[in-house]
Amino acid sequence: MTGNTRFYFKNHLVWQVEPVSQTAYIMSKKNDASYLFDNAEKDIWLMIYSKCTFDEMIVELNRKYDVLKEQLEKDVKAFLDDVLKEDLIYEIF
């Protein structure tokens, strides 16, 4: 994963953001699993949808959340690694 890496949704997903709670609900038709993302996880999910690079995600999240950049990079990488392992997204360098 580099700063220019972009992430894309796998095509076996159905998802939406619930308007009141602002929670992202994701359903994988491949493994019949469901996922709920809120707060920063939901923000990252929407940035994937917007085709942001890893670096663009960090800049946007750093504006929104009061977190050291190094910690933010670590946390975002951990989340992206998790959703990559769950086969929800793929990356292009």
- The DSSP H or E segment spanning 4 is none
Token pair, residue 37, equals: 């993302």
Model-wide pTM > 0.75: yes
| Long-range contact set of residues 36-44: C-beta below 8 Å, sequence gap at least 24 | 40/65, 40/75, 40/79, 41/79, 42/17, 44/76, 44/79, 44/80
Read off the pLDDT of residues 35-92 as tens digits, 9 standing for 90 and up: 999 999 999 999 999 999 999 999 999 999 999 999 999 999 999 999 999 999 999 9
For residue 86, is it left (φ>0), alpha (ψ between -120 and 50) or beta?
Answer: alpha
Q: What is the Cα–Cα distance from 81 to 89, expressed in whole angstroms?
A: 10
